[in-house]
Amino acid sequence: MRFHLSEEQIAIQDAVRGTLADCWPMERLHKFADSGDDFDPDSWAALMGLGLGGILLPDSGMGLLDAALVSEVAGEMAAPGPLIAQLLAVAAVARSGSEAARAHLDGLVAGTTIAALALGDSQFVQSARAAQVLLVGDRDGGIALVEAGEGVTIEPVQPTDRSRPVSRVSFAGAIRHELFSAGDPLAASLCDAALVLIAADALGGALHCTDISVAYAKEREQFGQPSGRFQALKHQLAHMALDAEPARALVWYAAYAWDAGLPDAARAAAMAKAHLCDVYVRSTRAAVAAHGGIGYTWEYGLNYWFRRAVLNRAWLGSPAEHRVRAAVMAGW
Amino acid sequence: MRFHLSEEQIAIQDAVRGTLADCWPMERLHKFADSGDDFDPDSWAALMGLGLGGILLPDSGMGLLDAALVSEVAGEMAAPGPLIAQLLAVAAVARSGSEAARAHLDGLVAGTTIAALALGDSQFVQSARAAQVLLVGDRDGGIALVEAGEGVTIEPVQPTDRSRPVSRVSFAGAIRHELFSAGDPLAASLCDAALVLIAADALGGALHCTDISVAYAKEREQFGQPSGRFQALKHQLAHMALDAEPARALVWYAAYAWDAGLPDAARAAAMAKAHLCDVYVRSTRAAVAAHGGIGYTWEYGLNYWFRRAVLNRAWLGSPAEHRVRAAVMAGW
Amino acid sequence: MDLSYGAEAEAFREDVRSFLAAAWQPGERRKADLKDYIRAFRRQAVEAGYLYRSVPKRYGGAEQPVDVIRAQVIREEFARARAPMEVGGNGVNMTVPTLLEKGTDEQRELFIRKTIEGEYVWGQGYSEPGSGSDLASVRTKGELSPDGTRWIVNGQKIWTSQGMQSTHMFMLVRTEPDAPKHDGITYLLIDLDQPGVTRRPIRQMTGEEGDHTFCEFFFDNAESPVSWQVGTRGQGWQVSRTTLKHERAAIGSADGLGNQFRKLVDLAKEVGRIGDPLVRDELARIEGFVLSHRYTSFRLFSCSAAGEDPGRVALMMKLYLTEIGHEMALLAQELVGEHAFVEPAGAGGRGPRGPRGPEKWLDQIMGSLGNSIAGGASNIQRNIIGERGLGLPRDLALELEAGGGRA
Amino acid sequence: MDLSYGAEAEAFREDVRSFLAAAWQPGERRKADLKDYIRAFRRQAVEAGYLYRSVPKRYGGAEQPVDVIRAQVIREEFARARAPMEVGGNGVNMTVPTLLEKGTDEQRELFIRKTIEGEYVWGQGYSEPGSGSDLASVRTKGELSPDGTRWIVNGQKIWTSQGMQSTHMFMLVRTEPDAPKHDGITYLLIDLDQPGVTRRPIRQMTGEEGDHTFCEFFFDNAESPVSWQVGTRGQGWQVSRTTLKHERAAIGSADGLGNQFRKLVDLAKEVGRIGDPLVRDELARIEGFVLSHRYTSFRLFSCSAAGEDPGRVALMMKLYLTEIGHEMALLAQELVGEHAFVEPAGAGGRGPRGPRGPEKWLDQIMGSLGNSIAGGASNIQRNIIGERGLGLPRDLALELEAGGGRA
Q: Say whether pLDDT at C344 is over 90.
A: no
Per-residue model confidence (pLDDT) at position D243: 61
Give the other-Cβ count within 10 Å of B49's Cβ: 13
The answer to whether residue B83 is domain-embedded is no
Number of domains in chain C: 3
> For residues B241 and D321, what is the distance between their CA atoms, to the nearest angstrom?
14
- Domain stop point among D206, D240, D274: D240
> For residues C99 and C92, what is the distance between their CA atoms, to the nearest angstrom?
10
> For residues C301 and A2, what is the distance between their CA atoms, to the nearest angstrom?
9
Q: Does B166 touch chain C (CB under 8 A)?
A: yes
Residues in B touching C379 (Cβ below 8 Å): 230, 232-233
Per-residue model confidence (pLDDT) at position C93: 87
Residues in B touching C202 (Cβ below 8 Å): 297-299
Confidence of residue A222 (pLDDT cuts 50, 70, 90): confident
Three-state SS for C128?
A: coil
Per-residue model confidence (pLDDT) at position C244: 57
Chain C 248-307, residues with CB within 8 Å of chain D CB atoms: 276-278, 281
pLDDT digits (tens, 9 = 90+) for D335-351: 999 999 999 876 554 44
Residue type, D310: P
Using CA atoms in the order B166, B172, B178, B180, what is the torsion angle rounded to 10 degrees? 60
Per-residue model confidence (pLDDT) at position C369: 87
Strand D168-174, strand D122-125: pairing: parallel
Considering the domain architecture, whether residues D221 and D267 belong to the same structural domain is answered as no
- Domain stop point among D240, D267, D291: D240
CA-wise closest residue to B251 among B320, B315, B195: B195
| Three-class DSSP labels, chain D | CECCCCHHHHHHHHHHHHHHHHHCCCCCCCHHHHHHHHHHHHHHHHHCCCCCCCCCHHHCCCCCCCCHHHHHHHHHHHHHCCCCCCCCHHHHHHHHHHHHHHCCHHHHHHHHHHHHCCCCCEEEECCCCCCCCCCCCCCCEEEECCCCCEEEEEEEEEEECCCCCCCEEEEEEECCCCCCHHHCEEEEEEECCCCCEEEEECCECCCCCCCCCCEEEEEEEEEEEHHHEECCCCEHHHHHHHHHHHHHHHCCCHHHHHHHHHHHHHHHHHCCCCCCHHHHHHHHHHHHHHHHHHHHHHHHHHHHHHCCCCHHHHHCHHHHHHHHHHHHHHHHHHHHHHHHHECCCCHHHCCCCCCCCHHHHHHHHHHHHHHHHCCCCHHHHHHHHHHHHCCCCCCHHHHHHHCCCCC
Phi, psi at A65, each rounded to 5°: -60, -45
> For residues D5 and D69, what is the distance between their CA atoms, to the nearest angstrom?
7
Looking at chain C, the whole-number percentage of residues with pLDDT higher than 90 is: 71
Per-residue model confidence (pLDDT) at position D251: 35
End-to-end Cα spacing for chain B? 31
Three-state SS for A222?
A: strand
The answer to whether residue D55 is domain-embedded is yes
Considering the domain architecture, whether residues D158 and D188 belong to the same structural domain is answered as yes
- Domain stop point among D86, D107, D139: D86
CB A172 within 8 A of CB A154: no
Give the other-Cβ count within 10 Å of D30's Cβ: 10
Q: Say whether pLDDT at C301 is over 50.
A: yes
Q: Which residue would you say has higher pLDDT here, C162 or A128?
A: A128
CB C46 within 8 A of CB C87: no
The answer to whether residue A130 is domain-embedded is no
The answer to whether residue D295 is domain-embedded is yes
pTM: 0.94
CATH number (domain holding residue C224): 2.40.110.10
Nearest-Cα residue of chain A relative to residue C386: A238
What are the residues whose beta carbons fall under 8 Å from the beta carbon of D151, sequence distance 6 or more? D142, D143, D144, D145, D173, D175, D186, D188, D223, D224, D225, D226, D228, D229
Distances (CA, A) of C294 to A51, A248, A325: 33, 11, 21
Considering the domain architecture, whether residues C327 and C301 belong to the same structural domain is answered as yes
pLDDT below 70 — which residues of chain D? 210-211, 243-254, 346-355, 372, 374-376, 402-407
CB B244 within 8 A of CB B279: yes
The answer to whether residue A32 is domain-embedded is no
Per-residue model confidence (pLDDT) at position A26: 98
Phi, psi at B264, each rounded to 5°: -95, 20
Shortest Cα–Cα distance, A122 to chain B (Å) = 28
**Residue D76 among the catalytic residues:** no
The answer to whether residue A30 is domain-embedded is no
Eight-state DSSP code of residue C3: -
Confidence of residue C161 (pLDDT cuts 50, 70, 90): confident
Confidence of residue C241 (pLDDT cuts 50, 70, 90): confident
Please state, rounded to an integer, the average pLDDT across all residues of chain B.
96
> For residues B167 and D246, what is the distance between their CA atoms, to the nearest angstrom?
56
Considering the domain architecture, whether residues D280 and D368 belong to the same structural domain is answered as yes
Q: Say how many CB pairs under 8 Å bridge B and C.
A: 121
Looking at chain C, the whole-number percentage of residues with pLDDT higher than 70 is: 91
Looking at chain B, the whole-number percentage of residues with pLDDT higher than 90 is: 94
What are the residues whose beta carbons fall under 8 Å from the beta carbon of D154, sequence distance 6 or more? D140, D141, D143, D219, D220, D221, D222
Considering the domain architecture, whether residues C259 and C370 belong to the same structural domain is answered as yes
Per-residue model confidence (pLDDT) at position D203: 92
Q: Say whether pLDDT at C251 is over 50.
A: no
Residues in C touching D281 (Cβ below 8 Å): 278
Q: What is the mean pLDDT of residues C105-126?
A: 95
The answer to whether residue C164 is domain-embedded is yes
Number of domains in chain B: 1
Q: Does B245 touch chain D (CB under 8 A)?
A: yes
CA-wise closest residue to D206 among D360, D80, D66: D360
CATH number (domain holding residue A308): 1.20.140.10
All partners of chain B with 3 or more CB pairs under 8 angstroms: A, C, D
Domain that holds residue D47: 7-86
What are the residues whose beta carbons fall under 8 Å from the beta carbon of C308, sequence distance 6 or more? A4
Per-residue model confidence (pLDDT) at position B178: 95
> For residues C78 and A267, what is the distance between their CA atoms, to the nearest angstrom?
31
Q: Does B250 touch chain D (CB under 8 A)?
A: yes
Q: Which range is least confidently modeled, C251-260, C363-372, D135-144, D230-239?
A: C251-260
Per-residue model confidence (pLDDT) at position C125: 95
Query: D76, D143, D247, D323: which is the annotated catalytic residue?
Result: D247
Distances (CA, A) of B38 to B14, B82, B163, C342, D309: 26, 9, 8, 14, 41
Q: Say how many CB pairs under 8 Å bridge B and D.
A: 157
Q: Say whether pLDDT at C222 is over 80.
A: yes
The answer to whether residue C395 is domain-embedded is no
Q: What is the interface pTM, i.e. ipTM, of the complex? A: 0.95
Say yes or no for a CB contact (<8 Å) between D284 and B250. no
Looking at chain B, the whole-number percentage of residues with pLDDT higher than 70 is: 100
What stretch of H or E contains C393? none
End-to-end Cα spacing for chain D? 36
> For residues D326 and D333, what is the distance between their CA atoms, to the nearest angstrom?
11
Alpha helices in C85-206 (DSSP H): 89-90, 96-102, 105-116
Per-residue model confidence (pLDDT) at position A121: 84
Per-residue model confidence (pLDDT) at position C392: 96
Q: Say whether pLDDT at C250 is over 60.
A: no
Domain that holds residue A255: 185-329
Say yes or no for a CB contact (<8 Å) between B228 and D393. yes
CB B280 within 8 A of CB B309: yes
Residues belonging to chain D: 407
Per-residue model confidence (pLDDT) at position C113: 95
Residues in D touching C400 (Cβ below 8 Å): 396
Per-residue model confidence (pLDDT) at position B138: 86
The answer to whether residue A290 is domain-embedded is yes
Q: What is the mean pLDDT of residues A197-217?
A: 98
What are the residues whose beta carbons fall under 8 Å from the beta carbon of C10, sequence distance 6 or more? none
CB B217 within 8 A of CB B232: no
The answer to whether residue B103 is domain-embedded is no
Query: C117, C143, C247, C387: which is the annotated catalytic residue?
Result: C247
Confidence of residue A235 (pLDDT cuts 50, 70, 90): very high
Considering the domain architecture, whether residues C272 and C351 belong to the same structural domain is answered as yes
Per-residue model confidence (pLDDT) at position C213: 76
> For residues D97 and A22, what is the distance between their CA atoms, to the nearest angstrom?
54
Considering the domain architecture, whether residues D46 and D18 belong to the same structural domain is answered as yes
The answer to whether residue C233 is domain-embedded is yes
The answer to whether residue A250 is domain-embedded is yes
Say yes or no for a CB contact (<8 Å) between C280 and A327. yes
Confidence of residue B295 (pLDDT cuts 50, 70, 90): very high
Eight-state DSSP code of residue B292: T
What are the residues whose beta carbons fall under 8 Å from the beta carbon of C160, sequence distance 6 or more? C123, C124, C125, C127, C166, C169, C199, C214, C215, C216, C217
Considering the domain architecture, whether residues D221 and D303 belong to the same structural domain is answered as no
Phi, psi at B313, each rounded to 5°: -60, -45
CA-wise closest residue to D407 among D299, D248, D297: D248
The answer to whether residue A14 is domain-embedded is no
